[in-house]
Amino acid sequence: MNHSDEKLPLVSIIINNYNYSLFLQEAIDSALNQTYPYIEVIVVDDGSSDNSQEIITSYGDRVVPVLKENGGQGSAFNAGFAVCRGEAIFFLDSDDVFYANKVKDILEVLNNKMANSPFVMVYHLLECVDKNGVSLGRRLPKSLPNLPANLYQYACQYKFLPYAAAPTSGIAISRELAKLIFPIPEQGVRTSADEFIVKPALLLGEVYGVERVLSQYRLHGGNNWYAHQKAKTKEFAVLLEEFLNTKLKENNKQPVISFFDSMYARNHYAIYGSSKDLFKLLLKVPGLRMNFTTIRFILKTLFLAIKLQFKPGEQNELR
């Protein structure tokens, strides 16, 4: 932690780790070696069984260690937020890496946007690399979505909302917006906990994308959830829906989220449901305003429903 300039806002970098000792030191070093001088690095170890905790404690007072029993990523985020003091909060998965100018560049954008509202999130592009840090020649997200900074009205119309941001290591949030969101659920949120940060931020605040690559996103083993997102389980979807509606009500907004009545349920039914579920979903679309988005949804869902109907074992679904 560097206190060289007390006039600068403190930035908290929360690193969440579970059994990633192979990559952990590089992640911590990338957080400590930022060009922005006033930071605290909080490393939350979620009950690792490898030598992660030895690596964390070797940094002494250069980091704030949070060593806890295993509870999943949701609990790790909560534990990190509970001890952080920064006016801006950055998140870093322990298998990813920040570029040295990341905090400085994103904080500048964040402060600029906060001149109009204290409730702001900023995200940026990430370079995809392999387990050895070699570039794979692509980035996440592929491009910035053409969407408003706040998606509450979007959610009112479509009953759900997209993940319009970057993965965990690409997001930064103002403390005031984070206070509206945390704590997030822990039970049932072992992975993909950033859904419980990004989506409420899109409903309660303003989220802005920066078209600059400022971190590395490491693809290895089974961690590549963002690039190949599969539909979440019903339990996860219900938990997220309940959390978002609770946050809306707490902030005097109508609880408009209804995942299984929305276009976003298509991917879930394509994996966990049947053609019958997709046809039922199509019947709910007339309740939405007809536009290019809904028409495209109808056509794609109709094609998928017919395709699923004639898959082996599906022929009798509609009888």
Q: Is the pTM of this model over 0.75?
A: yes
d(CA 271, CA 90) in angstroms, rounded, equals 33
Q: Helix H segments across the chain?
A: 21-32, 52-57, 73-83, 102-114, 152-158, 175-181, 195-204, 234-250, 265-272, 275-284, 292-309
Closest CA to 13 of 88, 66, 122: 88
Q: Tell me the mean pLDDT in the region 282-300.
A: 81
**How many domains is the chain built from?**
2
Provide the domain limits for residue 187: 11-240
Q: Is residue 146 part of a domain?
A: yes
Spatial CB neighbours of 173, under 8 Å, sequence gap ≥ 6? 88, 89, 120, 121, 122, 181, 197, 201
Domain final position from 188, 205, 240: 240
User: Are 124 and 232 found together in one domain?
Assistant: yes
User: Are 173 and 297 found together in one domain?
Assistant: no
User: Are 172 and 57 found together in one domain?
Assistant: yes
Confidence tier at 292 by pLDDT (50, 70, 90): confident
Tokens 């039922």 found at: 280
pLDDT at 227 over 60: no
User: Are 294 and 146 found together in one domain?
Assistant: no
Q: Is residue 45 part of a domain?
A: yes
Domain final position from 240, 274, 298: 240
pLDDT of residue 312: 55
DSSP-assigned letters across all residues of 252-297: T------GGGSTTHHHHHHHHS-HHHHHHHHHHGGGSPPSHHHHHH
Q: Is residue 256 part of a domain?
A: no
User: Are 220 and 272 found together in one domain?
Assistant: no
**39-46 vs 64-68, strand pairing mode:** parallel
Q: Is residue 1 part of a domain?
A: no
| Dihedral sign of CA atoms 303, 306, 309, 311 in order | negative
User: Are 293 and 201 found together in one domain?
Assistant: no
Using an 8 Å Cβ cutoff, are 116 and 174 in contact? no
Closest CA to 119 of 164, 165, 176, 171: 176
User: Are 151 and 283 found together in one domain?
Assistant: no
Task: Output the domain CATH number for residue 209.
Answer: 3.90.550.10
pLDDT of residue 230: 57
d(CA 192, CA 99) in angstroms, rounded, equals 23
d(CA 249, CA 271) in angstroms, rounded, equals 31
User: Are 98 and 153 found together in one domain?
Assistant: yes
User: Are 302 and 198 found together in one domain?
Assistant: no
Spatial CB neighbours of 273, under 8 Å, sequence gap ≥ 6? none
Using an 8 Å Cβ cutoff, are 298 and 285 in contact? yes
pLDDT at 75 over 90: yes
User: Are 133 and 166 found together in one domain?
Assistant: yes
Helix then strand count (H, E) for the chain reads 11, 9
pLDDT at 221 over 80: no
pLDDT of residue 231: 62
Q: Is residue 6 part of a domain?
A: no
pLDDT of residue 223: 62
Higher pLDDT, 57 or 296: 57
Q: Is residue 132 part of a domain?
A: yes
User: Are 157 and 294 found together in one domain?
Assistant: no
173 DSSP 8-state letter: E
Using an 8 Å Cβ cutoff, are 110 and 97 in contact? no
Peptide bond into 185 cis (omega under 30): no
User: Are 101 and 198 found together in one domain?
Assistant: yes
Q: Is residue 170 part of a domain?
A: yes
Domain final position from 193, 209, 240: 240
Tally the residues of the chain: 319
Q: Is residue 230 part of a domain?
A: yes
CA torsion angle 13 18 19 22 (round to 10) = -20
Write the pLDDT tens digit of every residue in 114-138. Answer: 999 999 999 999 999 999 999 999 9
Confidence tier at 56 by pLDDT (50, 70, 90): very high
Side-chain half-sphere CA neighbours of 23 within 13 A: 25
